[in-house]
């Protein structure tokens, strides 16, 4: 289980310690339609462990109306009951097969469990070979290796699709710093199935030299899940720095992006995914980067870097903070984003 699974803050630890039945007796904030994704609470793994019930309760204590999460081996009926108690929705997060040899039996069981828990759609991320970190430009060193992985990853998606159709749970394939928007559209359009759509992360494909408006507009016809995240950018010697920043302090027009997505899916739900971390280095001005990435014209790259310079943001360096401050920042970002969603998209 990675950093994106079942995490929570010190406040959540207190909630879990006092016990679930007490949560409804507390004075809770108004509930937003927005959910909370486990990726956004990564500094609290040690406090939460593997308890999805505690994660659900913590999310509600911040004002979230739903969760995007895994099941952690807990009885899905128990999870569904707690969600029903709190009036919350769930979107699943599945472990995709790592190779064509792995097969789809375990994947099918996950879908069945999520359906029992009340999910109608699950987040799906194509897994990269270890020790890759999920970012294509930082995992591969040759175009042949990059394209071979992509071809296999796309075939695994196609192998999983009949399973999703049979179980009746949709797959939301995320643009996870692995495919360009055009590459993802190609997969989705080829499948042409209501059970395969996109999980649109408006910030991820900035690392592919794409502006968020392009990512959202091209993927909007396929969107079934979406992440909410304010992103900041800044130039550095080899390209750009990319990081989540507090809502309203970044380079993106969040309301415009949500409007693009919801214009094609009126029932779309959003999950806050404000990952508190040091900026990611995207070395898009180096030959090594382009050796494994989809090609861009020189004018496209120049235009993109001009956009970065015009929208430069002060970026956080959370690794330099005390653990107490890391916990505080993480919770403030999540709470502020949920509050923002309550005003603007609930």
Task: Report the CATH superfamily, name and number, of domain 10-232+244-280+317-344.
Answer: Divalent-metal-dependent TIM barrel enzymes (3.20.20.150)
Q: What does the pLDDT average to over 303-311?
A: 98
Cβ atoms of 7 and 56 closer than 8 Å: no
Count of beta carbons in the 10 Å neighbourhood of residue 20 = 15
Give residue 23's pLDDT. 65
Q: What does the pLDDT average to over 1-19?
A: 38
Q: How confident is the model at residue 275 (pLDDT cuts 50, 70, 90)?
A: very high
Count of beta carbons in the 10 Å neighbourhood of residue 307 = 16
Q: What does the pLDDT average to over 163-180?
A: 98
Say how far apart CA 282 and CA 174 lie, in whole Å. Answer: 19
Picking from 74, 122, 73, 121, the residue whose alpha carbon sits closest to that of residue 94 is 122
- Does residue 294 register a pLDDT over 70? yes
Q: Is the bond into 48 cis (omega within 30 degrees of 0)?
A: no
Return the minimum-mean-pLDDT range out of 4-13, 116-125, 127-136, 166-175: 4-13
pLDDT tens by residue, 27-59: 899 999 999 999 888 886 667 777 899 999 999
DSSP class of 198: E
Q: What does the pLDDT average to over 142-164?
A: 97
- Does residue 244 register a pLDDT over 80? yes
Tokens at 219, concatenated: 């993927």
β-strand partners of 242: 233, 280
DSSP class of 208: G
- Does residue 165 register a pLDDT over 50? yes
pLDDT tens by residue, 110-144: 999 999 999 999 999 999 998 878 899 999 999 99
Q: How confident is the model at residue 198 (pLDDT cuts 50, 70, 90)?
A: very high
DSSP state string for 162-195: HHHHHHT-EEEEE--SSS-HHHHHHHHHHH--TT
Give residue 20's pLDDT. 53
Give residue 43's pLDDT. 83
Give residue 50's pLDDT. 73
- Does residue 83 register a pLDDT over 60? yes
Tokens at 145, concatenated: 């290796």
Share above pLDDT 70 across residues of the chain, in percent, rounded to a whole number: 92
- Does residue 26 register a pLDDT over 80? no
Q: What does the pLDDT average to over 222-226?
A: 98
Picking from 259, 228, 243, the residue whose alpha carbon sits closest to that of residue 313 is 243
Q: What does the pLDDT average to over 86-100?
A: 97
Say how far apart CA 92 and CA 123 lie, in whole Å. Answer: 6
Q: What residue spans define the domains of the chain?
A: 10-232+244-280+317-344
Average pLDDT, the chain: 91
Q: How confident is the model at residue 14 (pLDDT cuts 50, 70, 90)?
A: very low
Q: What does the pLDDT average to over 68-89?
A: 96
């Amino acid at each position: 289980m990675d950093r994106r699974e079942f995490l929570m803050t010190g406040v959540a630890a207190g909630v879990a310690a006092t016990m679930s039945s007490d949560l409804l007796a507390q004075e809770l904030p108004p509930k937003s339609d927005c959910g909370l994704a486990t990726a956004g609470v990564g500094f609290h793994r040690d406090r939460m462990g593997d308890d999805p019930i505690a994660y659900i309760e913590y999310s509600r204590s911040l004002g979230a109306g739903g969760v995007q999460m895994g099941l952690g081996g807990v009885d899905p009926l128990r999870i569904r009951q707690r969600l029903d108690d709190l009036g919350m929705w769930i979107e699943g997060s599945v472990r995709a097969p790592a190779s064509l040899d792995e097969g789809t039996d375990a994947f099918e069981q996950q879908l069945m469990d999520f359906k029992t828990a009340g999910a109608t759609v699950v987040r799906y991320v194509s897994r990269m070979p270890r020790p890759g970190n999920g970012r294509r430009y930082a995992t591969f060193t040759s175009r042949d290796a990059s394209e071979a992985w992509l071809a296999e990853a796309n075939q695994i998606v196609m192998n999983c699709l009949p399973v999703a159709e049979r179980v009746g749970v949709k797959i939301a394939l995320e643009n996870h710093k692995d495919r360009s928007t055009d590459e993802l559209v190609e997969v989705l359009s080829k499948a042409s199935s209501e059970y395969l759509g996109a999980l649109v992360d408006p910030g991820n494909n900035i690392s592919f030299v794409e502006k968020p408006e392009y990512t959202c507009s091209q993927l909007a016809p396929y969107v079934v899940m979406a992440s909410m995240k304010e992103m900041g950018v800044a130039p550095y010697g080899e390209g750009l720095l990319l990081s989540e920043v507090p809502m309203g302090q970044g380079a993106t027009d969040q309301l415009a992006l949500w409007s693009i997505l919801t214009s094609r899916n009126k029932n779309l739900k959003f999950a806050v995914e404000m990952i508190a971390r040091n900026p990611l280095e995207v070395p898009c001005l180096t030959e090594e980067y382009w050796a494994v990435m989809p090609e861009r014209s020189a004018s496209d790259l120049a235009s993109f870097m001009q956009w970065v310079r015009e929208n430069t943001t002060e970026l956080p360096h959370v690794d330099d903070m005390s653990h107490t401050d890391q916990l505080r920042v993480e919770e403030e970002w999540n709470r502020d984003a949920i509050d923002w969603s309550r005003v603007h998209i609930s």
